[in-house]
Structure 1
Amino acid sequence: MAVLRVKFTKTKRDKLAQVLWILNWISVVTGAILFSLGLFLKVELNKRGELMAERDIQYVPNMLIAVGLIACAINFLGGKICYDCVDTTKFLRWKLIMLPYIICTFFFTFCVLVGALMCYSMRGELEESLNLGLTEAMKFYKDTDTPGRCFLKRTLDYLQIEFQCCGNNGYKDWFQIQWISNRYLDMSQKEVVDRLRSNVEGRYLIDGVPFSCCNINSPRPCIQQQVSNNSAHFNYEHQTEELNLWMKGCRQALLEHYNYIIQSIGLAVLITWLFELSVLTGVRYLQTSLENVLRQGDPNSESDGWLLENSFMETALTLWPGFCGFATRLLIKTNCQLLFCILPDST
């Protein structure tokens, strides 16, 4: 028994073809939007690539770019097919192509859904990449004379000012690394030498932060040296002086920034998937109704259209042997190629 059978008159078939022609052209535009969103996300990620670890987080924008380009091509072809299907005689030239086209469009629509889910699932990898990347970048904050690292100080300062954040998880992260270059340390002072000797790695560690951590909303001049020493400053209590420095870590600030972008893109991709699914459903109804018209021989007669000619179970049982045969041939071919590559070496 056919799934979701619908009866179409000649007028309804023509209107369906015309509507699908318009929807396919709209889908070409949505494909261009998907491409643009993927490109925008890629640029945003590359903009702060120095602050991210070498992890593969570019797969999401790359997939969106690919899906956008494929959407433009598929829907352009779909628009041409639907335009010709208004005339039953012109449908004959597309008759053999429509089923493969619908199958390809189905898998493409599935890829759009996967792209939407990937947008929502990349938060964990992005957070880990930012955590490792920011920690590593902070270690090189002082290396303004080292090629390849000389711009990290400026990058981190701009980041902390723009996003109103400090450190990786918070301002205390700066207490654990040497962020002042040795060239600016007076080695003739006993206090400096003692600090360098106070730890195994010989680092100059202080309870201070860079100037970019200063909160511009603070009513008092910024305290960036001896931050945890209450007696070093008048009327100062570092546990409660939240206005003095930015309290939020830069990892959290960047994660919130990227999350807003990714969730917005994910919602747009999800809406595109629903739109593409509706267009695919309409094309399937158009194809089956026109094929039934050709069987009847009267182009003006009524015809039935459906999503599946048989029930879901019957369709699955029909397709299963073909899928198994394809998988078997693919496995045999792969094994033969591997054997062919191994045999010359063994001889």
Structure 2
Amino acid sequence: MALMKVKFDQKKRVKLAQGLWLMNWLSVLTGIIIFSLGIFLKIELKKRSEVMNNSESHFVPNSLIGVGVLACVFNALGGKICYDALDPAKYSKWKPWLKPYLIIFVLFNIILFMVSLFCFLMRGSLESTLAHGLKNGMKYYRDTDTPGRCFMKKTIDMLQIEFRCCGNNGFRDWFEVQWISNRYLDFASKEVKDRIKSNVDGRYLVDGVPFSCCNPNSPRPCIQTQLTNNSAHYSYDYQTEELNLWVRGCREALLHYYSNIMNTMGVIVFLVWLFEVTVTAGLRYLHTALDSVANPEDPECESEGWLLEKSVSETWKSVLENLKKLGKGSQVEAEGAEGDQAPAAS
């Protein structure tokens, strides 16, 4: 028994075809929007690629670009089919291709839904990427004379100023890396020698941070050095001076920024998916309504349209049987190929 059967006359079929033609071209516009969102996210990620450890974060923008292009192609083709459906002569050319087209369109809808899920689920991967990337970026902060790393200082400073953050998880992360270049250290100084000797790795570590960690909202001049030494500064207590430096780490700030972008994109892609599902259902009704016309020479006669020719359970069983037949067919072909090779080997 057909699922969700609807009766159509000539007027309803024409209205359905016209409505689907308009919806398909609106879907082309949504495809362009998805493509543009993918480009935007890719550019935003590229801006800070130096503080991201791998290319996994580009999976989402690449997926958005891909489904955006596919949406434009499939829906432009669907619009053409709906336009030609009003002319029996033109529709006869599309008729053999409509069923494969609908199957591919259903697969595209599944991919589109998966992409919308990826937009929401990439937070964990992005957090790990930022954590490792920022850690490496801070390590290379001092290498202003090293090719390939000479712009890392500027990148980190601009990042901390723009996102009002400091370090990876907080300002104390700067205490664990030597962020001052050796060229600016006086190795004849006893203090410098003692600090280097006191460290196993021979690094010059200080309880200080770069200037870009300073919070301009602080009522006093920014304190960057000897942050944990209260006696080094007048009327200072590092545990209560919250306005002196940015408290939030850059990993948290960037993660919040990119998560908001991807969550918004996920909602947009999900809404587009709902629209595409509606278009797919409409195309299926149009396809079955035109194919079930009893007398093609009489365009005024009634016909029936449906989503599935059988019930959901029967359709699922039929799909599984077809997959089993395909598996058995490929197995027979493989055994036949082995049989053909055996005599040649003997």
Instruction: Please tell me the TM-score bracket, short chain as reference.
Output: over 0.9
Shift of 1:279: 0.4
Say if 2:71 is the partner of 1:108: no
Alpha-carbon distance in structure 1 between the residues aligned to 2:24 and 2:185: 67
On the 8 A contact 2:206/2:226 being kept in 1, the answer is yes
On the 8 A contact 2:214/2:245 being kept in 1, the answer is yes
Correspondence for 1:322: 322
Correspondence for 1:157: 157
> In structure 2, the residue corresponding to 1:62 is in which secondary structure?
helix
Matches within 5 A, 1:14-53: 14-53=14-53
Shift of 1:314: 1.2
Shift of 1:70: 0.9
On the 8 A contact 1:168/1:251 being kept in 2, the answer is yes
Alpha-carbon distance in structure 1 between the residues aligned to 2:334 and 2:64: 30
Amino acid at match of 2:185: L
Give the number of equivalent residue pairs: 339
Shift of 1:39: 1.1
After the TM superposition, which parts of structure 1 deviate over 4 Å for at least 4 consecutive aligned residues?
294-297, 328-337
On the 8 A contact 2:113/2:270 being kept in 1, the answer is yes
Structure 2 unaligned regions, length at least 5: none
Per-residue deviation, residues 141-177 of structure 1 (Å, max 9, x unmatched): 0010000000000000000001000000000000011
On the 8 A contact 1:88/1:290 being kept in 2, the answer is no
Correspondence for 1:180: 180
Structure 2 CA distance for partners of 1:48 and 1:327, relative to 1, 3 Å: farther
Per-residue deviation, residues 16-73 of structure 1 (Å, max 9, x unmatched): 0000000011111111111111111111111100000024221111111111111111
Correspondence for 1:246: 246
On the 8 A contact 1:288/1:306 being kept in 2, the answer is yes
Taking only the aligned residue pairs, the percentage that are identical comes to 55
Correspondence for 1:293: 293
Structure 2 CA distance for partners of 1:94 and 1:153, relative to 1, 3 Å: same
Say if 2:219 is the partner of 1:219: yes
Amino acid at match of 2:171: Y
> In structure 1, the residue corresponding to 2:57 is in which secondary structure?
coil
Give the structure-1-normalised TM-score: 0.94
Say if 2:343 is the partner of 1:309: no
Alpha-carbon distance in structure 1 between the residues aligned to 2:335 and 2:241: 68
> In structure 2, the residue corresponding to 1:304 is in which secondary structure?
strand
CA-based RMSD: 1.8
Structure 2 CA distance for partners of 1:48 and 1:335, relative to 1, 3 Å: farther
Shift of 1:336: 9.7
> In structure 2, the residue corresponding to 1:318 is in which secondary structure?
helix
Structure 2 CA distance for partners of 1:95 and 1:39, relative to 1, 3 Å: same
Alpha-carbon distance in structure 1 between the residues aligned to 2:92 and 2:111: 30
On the 8 A contact 1:131/1:168 being kept in 2, the answer is yes
Give the structure-2-normalised TM-score: 0.94
On the 8 A contact 2:294/2:303 being kept in 1, the answer is no
Say if 2:252 is the partner of 1:269: no
Amino acid at match of 2:211: F
Alpha-carbon distance in structure 1 between the residues aligned to 2:175 and 2:317: 66
Amino acid at match of 1:266: G
Alpha-carbon distance in structure 1 between the residues aligned to 2:159 and 2:333: 53
Correspondence for 1:171: 171
Matches within 5 A, 1:60-99: 60-99=60-99
Structure 2 CA distance for partners of 1:23 and 1:315, relative to 1, 3 Å: same
Deviates more, 1:213-222 or 1:59-68: 59-68
Correspondence for 2:120: 120
Alpha-carbon distance in structure 1 between the residues aligned to 2:68 and 2:144: 41
Structure 1 unaligned regions, length at least 5: none
